[in-house]
Amino acid sequence: MVDSGEQQLTMFDAMKLLNFTDERLFVDSLAVAERFGKLHKNVLRDVEGIECSEEFYRLNFEPIEYEDNRGRLQPMFRMTRDGFSLLVMGFTGPRAMRWKERYIQAFNMMEAELLRRSIERAETRGRSKTIRIAATNSYKEHGATEWFHYSNNTDAIYKIMFGGTAAQLRTKWKLPGKCNVRDHLSTDQLNMVIQG
């Protein structure tokens, strides 16, 4: 066992190593080439030459493009944790081992963070739903009988909190036509509505 003397990754370090959406973590082939000291064309060749099932390949290696320093579009792969792991399994040497360890730490940290955010969002949505049900019952007790009574109240809340009605926010935020705006609010925005 080699003692590299490196410190544990911080969340900031992990975020620099990985790309992520609300639900998935990725690393791209360009970053792998740079960090593992390989030519990008060789990493592309390695990805394309992986002998795995078609389904695994499709789920874990997404062909995308990036713009090079001359403004040309070039091929690249976006890989999940599993795709990355399969690719770098054969990379050897001290540098490769150091980067494998760092990426494992980064994936573990970011997966834990995404899980924490997901749980927090679910809890907030639950509180939001409880408050909405209580508000709806209150409206009924005070004579609200038509659907527009509820939508008018929601629009009033959205105008105060976010500067527009539900329809205006769908346009402003480029959301699908008749979607529920609430489903697209961040945890912080949901908390604003709950507390507001």
Q: How far apart are CA 163 and CA 157, in angstroms?
A: 9
Q: Which residue has the tokens 């490196």?
A: 6
d(CA 177, CA 171): 8
pLDDT score, position 3: 47
pLDDT at 2: 43
Q: What is the pLDDT of residues 140-156, one digit of tens each?
A: 776 766 666 667 777 77
How far is residue 170's CA from residue 137's CA, in Å, rounded to a whole number?
A: 26
Tokens 């054969």 found at? 90
Residue 35 CA to residue 17 CA, distance in Å, equals: 10
User: Predicted confidence band at 74 (pLDDT cuts at 50, 70, 90)?
Assistant: very high
- SS3 track for the chain: CCCCCCCCCCHHHHHHHCEECCCCEEEEHHHHHHHHCCCHHHHHHHHHCCCCCHHHHHHHEEEEEEECCCCCEEEEEEECHHHHHHHHCCCCCHHHHHHHHHHHHHHHHHHHHHHHHHHHHHHHHHHHHHHHHHHHHHHHHCCCCCHHHHHHHHHHHHHHHHCCCHHHHHHHCCCCCCCCHHHHCCHHHHHHHHHC
pLDDT score for 29 = 96
Check pLDDT > 90 for residue 165.
no
Residue 73 has pLDDT above 90, yes or no: yes
Strand order in the sheet with 73-79: 19-20, 25-28, 73-79, 61-67
**Residue ranges of domains in the chain:** 11-116, 119-195
Residue-level pLDDT at 7: 65
pLDDT for residue 110 is more than 70: yes
Angstrom distance (rounded) from CA 155 to CA 73: 43
Residue 186 structure tokens: 């961040």
Q: Poorest-confidence range of 20-29, 55-64, 66-75, 80-89?
A: 20-29
